[in-house]
Amino acid sequence: MTPVETIVESRQRCEQCGTTIGELDLAPACPQCGGLLEMVNPIVESAVALRARFAGRRAALRGPDASGVWRYRELVMPSVQPSAIVSHPEGNTPLLSRAALSEWTGVEDLLIKHEGHNPTGSFKDRGMTVATTQAVRTGARAVACASTGNTSASLAAYAAQARLPAFVFVPAGNVALGKLAQTLAYGAKTLLVRGNFDACLTLAREASAALGIALLNSINPFRLEGQKTIVFELLEQLDWQPPDWIALPAGNLGNTSAFGKALREAHQIGLIDRMPRIAAVQARGAAPFSQSFQRGFGERIRVEPDTIATAIRIGDPASWDRAVRAIRETNGVVTDVSDAEILEAKAVIDAAGVGCEPASAASVAGVARLRREGVIAANERVVAVLTGNLLKDPGAIVKYHQETEPAPARANRPIEIDARLSEVERVLELTRT
Ligand SMILES: Cc1ncc(COP(=O)(O)O)c(C=O)c1O
Ligand SMILES: [Zn+2]
């Protein structure tokens, strides 16, 4: 066994100055310097024992063991009592391969980890089950988040399950329809803020500090603990043989940070014997992290964000420093892709019968770009993470397929007909030619 460090209980530790506070401490940031907090969990078992424990739970049909998050709870929240867990359940998402996507990206051994199969349709559920459990454990009276839409949908669902009032701050006019609909349906108080995501996060932070509401954004360390399980689960699906690359879309950089932490811990514990490289992919109109990467991360960059991929329409990512660490420790790369590349990748993913929301397609568009540039080799194994479900953003889909000026190359235009058999025959003829 290679212990991460000799600790006997989980602590929250400041990433800037190293100050530690208790696991149940409610401070939203380091009380000494205001830095972001991360969880440090004691590791009490060997890699062999952990693998066997995780595998043994796979057959569970109900309860925490049936969750693709809580199955790994020794690495997520070891101190939790199973009865305290607020779980849908979530996780257990498939690892797919599709010839059409391998052909389009030029990467034969491309696997797709589809997080859109989570209960509210995005990877956010993995972090939210943990953050909500923690909110209940610490006696929170209400929960809140700023969101580009998916976090709010997820928070709304888990808060409803835990019977906690929920407040969400989303940018007015820039939330995809499916996400807004979910948030309203699950019953969260939905505040449409006249401003972008960055303004929403600032306001949510102020409001939670002033009004004593638990903030469940990905600056909350418990969110990242849950999101780590995307990596644990995909590694387990590969029998703990790490792929060469893991590609994911990057906005506020919470997920990039969680992936880095998961890989660091899996490596330290001995669950894997080498580190995959992370490829974080931003939308070109919201690419401060990618721009900074090109300059060796010399400076932190902020931009006015603009992209069709509203989930990653973020100009001042909150988890910057820990994402830099994730890229450095995995010898990773950051790239950016245009909206046209994102939409084309999405059309290919959708037409392969897989489907995802626009931001998710950035990961596959990024893989294609990195392959063209020779950064990813043709024979390498790549896992691309699709972060959200196809139905999250129906507006973007309908617009793409009905656009006429100019019609996108992969558009599948609907055809209006009279209710006559001859009309159907005419369409069939057109399809044959
Ligand atoms: C579908 C989707 N993909 C990617 C991201 C980006 O994740 P992060 O903000 O952790 O970088 C988000 C965040 O909202 C999202 O909803
Ligand atoms: Zn500190």
DSSP H/E element including 245: strand 245-249
Tokens of 258: 């969680």
Contact 223, 134 (CB under 8 A): no
- DSSP state, 361? H
pLDDT > 80? residue 81: yes
pLDDT > 90? residue 345: yes
pLDDT > 90? residue 335: yes
Secondary structure class of 160 (helix, strand, coil): helix
| Strand-strand pairing, 143-146 and 277-283 | unpaired
Distance 206 CA to ligand 2 centre (A): 19
Q: Which ligand is nearest to the CA of 12?
A: 2
C-beta 389 within 6 A of ligand 1? no
Distance 37 CA to ligand 2 centre (A): 8
Q: Which ligand is nearest to the CA of 200?
A: 1
C-beta 384 within 6 A of ligand 1? no
Distance 158 CA to ligand 2 centre (A): 30
* All residues with CB under 5 Å from ion ligand 2: 14, 16-17, 19, 30, 32-33, 35
| Mean pLDDT of the 284-304 span | 98
pTM of the entire structure? 0.96
Residue 120: per-residue pLDDT: 98
pLDDT > 80? residue 415: yes
Q: Tokens 């084309």 label which residue?
A: 344
Does a cis peptide bond (omega within 30 degrees of 0) precede residue 406?
Answer: yes
The mean of the pLDDT values for the chain is 95
Burial class of residue 241, CB neighbours in 10 A (0-12, 13-18, 19+): exposed
Q: Which ligand is nearest to the CA of 114?
A: 1
Report the candidate in 255, 275, 280, 260 with the shortest Cα–Cα distance to residue 333: 280
Distance 27 CA to ligand 2 centre (A): 12
Instruction: Supply the residue whose CA is at minimum distance from atom 4 of ligand 1.
Output: 249
Residue 431: per-residue pLDDT: 83
Secondary structure class of 397 (helix, strand, coil): helix
* pLDDT one-digit tens code per residue, 11-65: 999 999 999 999 999 899 999 999 999 999 998 899 999 999 999 999 999 999 9
Mutate to test the pocket of ligand 1, among 175, 223, 255, 356 (most ligand atoms within 8 A of CB): 255
| Mean pLDDT of the 192-221 span | 93
Q: Which ligand is nearest to the CA of 218?
A: 1
C-beta 10 within 6 A of ligand 1? no
Mutate to test the pocket of ligand 1, among 179, 223, 252, 320 (most ligand atoms within 8 A of CB): 252
Distance 15 CA to ligand 2 centre (A): 7
pLDDT > 90? residue 244: yes
pLDDT > 50? residue 3: no
C-beta 250 within 6 A of ligand 1? yes
Residue 6: per-residue pLDDT: 63
Region for residue 337 given its phi and psi (left: phi exceeds 0; alpha: psi -120 to 50; beta: otherwise) = beta
| Ligand 1 atom closest to 250 (CA) | 11
Residue 1: per-residue pLDDT: 41
Q: Which domains does the chain have, with CATH numbers?
A: 95-121+223-396 (3.40.50.1100)
